[in-house]
A and B are shown apart, each in its own frame.
Chain A
Amino acid sequence: MRKPFAITLDPGSSLANHTGSWRTERPEYVHRLPPCNKACPAGEQVQAWLALAEEGSYRAAWETIMQDNPLPAIMGRACYHACETHCNRARLDEAVSIHSVERYLGDLAIREGWPAPACAPGTGKRVLVVGAGPSGLAAAYHLARLGHHVVVREAGPAAGGMMRFGIPKYRLPREVLDAEVGRILDLGVELRLNAPVDDLPRLMREERFDACFAAIGAHLANRVTIPTPDAGKIVDALAFLRENETGEEAPRIGRRVVVYGGGNTAMDAARTAKRLGAEETVIVYRRSRAQMPAHEFELEEALQEGITVRWLTTITAGTDAGFQVERMALDETGWPRPTGEFDTIEADTLVLALGQSVDLGVLARVPGVETTKDGRIAVGADLMTGHPGIFCGGDMVPAERTITVAVGHGKQAARHIDAWLRGTRPEPEPAREDATFERLNPWYYTDADRTVQPELDALRRRTTFEEVHGGLDERTALLEARRCLSCGNCFECDNCFGVCPDNAIAKLGPGRGFAIDYEYCKGCALCATECPCGAIRMVPEER
């Protein structure tokens, strides 16, 4: 080819120049562990199911929850949502209202009648579950899905445990509970009600169970001695809540009710008493508000319903008209000390909500099973007791006593029981780097206020057991899901593709993410810095 004056070379493209050789660090897409997932005692993949919900794939989102937790509609109401406490969005404006989206998905599944995801082929193994509370039900669900035959024995007249006999209806409507329990039974789980266990090893022998998960909870009320002329005035909170749930007629409590204790059960008992017609409901707690074990929001809701609290007060004795109380003062260590100042409160009923203990009887009799100093069942990291094949979880073992921890134990126990039955160990979850707030680029997230759930009006809250908090509708649930920052996991915002000065990132299409062309990537790290959610890591190149 004849070239113009002074031109000796053919035209070429810069593509011949492989600038990737300049690089000292390479960007890599990663999946970091979002704080919500990390905090969830049930091990839910929160960020993953929110990502599905925010594109409107509600069934897939619900099924993702169901991988870890068979009770989404219950959890969306009764869980204390550690996920929200740890949500990175709280550092930006307010945490994502994860529980309200979970509740929306759970309610949708009930309304649509979605069945639980299918079970693995039968293994021929039989597993006994003792106790149909959240832990036992979760274990039964996961064991059934793994292909085992599960029999649940429940001492009480209905399934649900504390979800039915502890948590009042206004926080957890019974239709929701029944629907989610029913879905687990639909997997072929056998439920035997009014069937307490006495001799566990013999029962397992006689009915040929290969393993057992026991989760009978902590339902013995802690007592305190209060000298009183009329002992009939004093009831314990669990018995009171249970009677309200199962009794032919509502418990007789009179016009003035005193609840003794500062935990969540005390709040439930006081709010239930209010709804049963107690005009004056007073919570008496020996320490101050700052030390109260109940959740702040539960106290706040109780106060809204007209319940009053006497802080730094103990009940010393019963009188003809009520109870004598003594003022307390905190010493320098924060411990309440008597002051010698006395007062009286008029009351028709005293409800004791002073904590619960485990009924160790059945398990303590099993050879090899050990108990802890504080009266719980000792278990290993695999939740197995000292007796091979008998596992324990929920409120019976040393851990925080919440419904979500119980569900988490059920899942873990199922995996360990499954592995034990097969003579293997469960695969450990691969370790993932934390998706901390510092790894995000929050500039790219616009302000979006948290969606507020509707609340029942004040009068109906004081007089009926209707649910206090309403659910979200589809539009608000979608908006709320979309507030998720997607911490540590790519949500395909195209920023990396846009900001690469070297066109070294290829867009692969919806759901497929991006690929880096290391022939041309110079390793400037703009993609990693400008990634909103911290899903790109810079790794030193090896020489």
Chain B
Amino acid sequence: MFIDEIAHRDDDARRALPLAPPGAAEEALAEAQRLRFYQTGTLTAGNRLLDPAERTVQASAERANAITCGHRACQGCGEALGARYVLDAAMRATGGKLVAVNATGCLEVFTTPYPETAWRLPWLHSLFGNAPAVATGVAAALRVRGVDARVVAQGGDGGTVDIGFGCLSGMFERNDDVLYVCYDNEAYMNTGVQRSSATPPAARTATTPAVGDAPGNPFGTGKDLPRLAMAHRIPYVATATVADLHDLERKTARAMGIRGARYLHVLVPCPLGWAHASHETIRVARLAVESGLFPLFEAEHGEVTRVTPIRRRVPTEAYLRPQGRFAHLFRPARDEARLARIQAIADANVRIYRLAPLDGLVPGEAAHA
């Protein structure tokens, strides 16, 4: 999400963006840093010494495992991880009474090669662009039939931001009782890494190759879907990543505690499309947050109500470096102009969402990332 790009188009629009309440970052940071269970705080999935109530769903041997073993996602797939995190948390929140509707995309393809399925909950797939409409229909049917169950619709960024956006906007506008989850890996990975309108500037994809004077995806393009969802003034919008399990599960549970249209946008790094090592999926997602490029926030009825502060801020370079899709920013020579523009995007996010209590980098902290 590249707030700055939107803001540059219209300075007045930028002033009109709803801000996080002042001091929210400081308060949340203080709370997060409070010594809860000593050894590792509450940053790991669980811990044998931690009060079970403070452990994540994923730390439980009784978790639903909504996607089971044997699925055909690549090694280190962020989307497989993100979908299990969200659905297991939603399964716990609804006592297992959950139906999932899936848009076309990697997630659908790697879980359901005919006749196998990796899903362990009722699951429907129709078309690439109609998952929000199908989910609306499922929710209506369940209501008519008097079945006590909730509906989650899910898709990748292609099915959400581009192809399904009309249906999604309609679902938001009618405030249908569906949680829509977008697993954002910032391009069409399933078909061979083509650009989507969630692809960040400068990223190399099959359709925005790293050649010519302006290599990679052009600056000043793309959509910020969480902001678009907020513009519908739906009850709940949140962003999350696979790097912070506690944050992701808390937001999922919160979303399932609300009726009406809700939107959860989860950043899921893709080792294949982003060209990073398979074991770096979580680290890269963490760096997206810590650099300020992916702000974590929640909004209710169009207003930002809470931000998850940056714990140890790093320069955007720390996020870009491990990813082959940004390699041309560093080789054969550093592309200072584009690196500065990307850093400016992160700085704007930090300012707009008040992601860090201090302005600028904290010296020496980059080493921790």
Q: Is the CB of B76 within 8 A of A501?
A: yes
- The listed residue (B40, B67, B279) touching A444 by CB distance below 8 A is B40
Alpha-carbon distance between A14 and B77 when the two chains are bound, in angstroms: 16
Alpha-carbon distance between A495 and B244 when the two chains are bound, in angstroms: 11
| Residues from chain A with Cβ under 8 Å of B49 in the complex | 54-55, 482
Q: Provided the pairs A482-B38, A501-B81, A526-B278 are in contact, do residues A491 and B48 lie with their beta carbons within 8 angstroms?
A: yes
| Residues from chain A with Cβ under 8 Å of B280 in the complex | 529
Q: Is the CB of B68 within 8 A of A15?
A: yes
Residue among B69, B80, B118 having the largest count of chain A Cβ atoms under 10 Å? B69
Alpha-carbon distance between A137 and B215 when the two chains are bound, in angstroms: 74
Using CB atoms, name the residue of chain A closest to B112: A14
Q: Is the CB of B59 within 8 A of A497?
A: yes
| Residues from chain A with Cβ under 8 Å of B114 in the complex | 9
Using CB atoms, name the residue of chain A closest to B37: A482
A342 interface residue per 8 A CB criterion: no
Alpha-carbon distance between A522 and B78 when the two chains are bound, in angstroms: 14
- The listed residue (B39, B41, B78) touching A54 by CB distance below 8 A is B39
Q: Is the CB of A494 within 8 A of B116?
A: no
B contact residues, total (Cβ < 8 Å): 54
Alpha-carbon distance between A35 and B58 when the two chains are bound, in angstroms: 31
| Residues from chain A with Cβ under 8 Å of B38 in the complex | 54, 448, 478-479, 482-483
Alpha-carbon distance between A458 and B34 when the two chains are bound, in angstroms: 33
Q: Is the CB of A444 within 8 A of B44?
A: yes
Q: Is the CB of A19 within 8 A of B70?
A: yes
Alpha-carbon distance between A282 and B81 when the two chains are bound, in angstroms: 67
A530 interface residue per 8 A CB criterion: yes
- The listed residue (A448, A511, A525) touching B279 by CB distance below 8 A is A525
B34-80, CB < 8 A from A: 35-49, 55-56, 58-59, 61, 65, 67-73, 75-78, 80
| Residues from chain A with Cβ under 8 Å of B46 in the complex | 492-494, 497-498
A contact residues, total (Cβ < 8 Å): 57
Alpha-carbon distance between A24 and B268 when the two chains are bound, in angstroms: 24
| Surface stretch bound by A, among B216-224, B255-263, B281-289 | B281-289
Using CB atoms, name the residue of chain A closest to B41: A446
Q: Provided the pairs A9-B115, A16-B116, A492-B47 are in contact, do residues A486 and B76 lie with their beta carbons within 8 angstroms?
A: no
Q: Is the CB of B116 within 8 A of A17?
A: yes
| Surface stretch bound by B, among A106-114, A126-134, A502-510 | A502-510
- Binary contact track B78-122/A, C-beta < 8 Å → 1, others 0: 101100100000000000000000000000000100111110000
- The listed residue (A16, A493, A523, A529) touching B44 by CB distance below 8 A is A493
Q: Is the CB of A532 within 8 A of B278?
A: no
Can you list 28 residue pairs at the A/B interface with Cβ under 8 Å? A11-B115, A11-B117, A14-B68, A14-B70, A14-B111, A14-B116, A15-B70, A17-B116, A55-B48, A444-B43, A445-B41, A445-B43, A447-B33, A482-B38, A491-B48, A494-B58, A497-B46, A499-B45, A499-B282, A502-B71, A502-B80, A503-B67, A503-B69, A504-B69, A522-B75, A523-B75, A524-B76, A526-B281
Given contacts A493-B46, A502-B71, A502-B80, 14 further A-B contacts (CB under 8 A): A14-B68, A14-B117, A55-B48, A479-B38, A483-B38, A486-B39, A495-B45, A497-B46, A511-B48, A520-B69, A522-B75, A524-B279, A526-B76, A526-B279
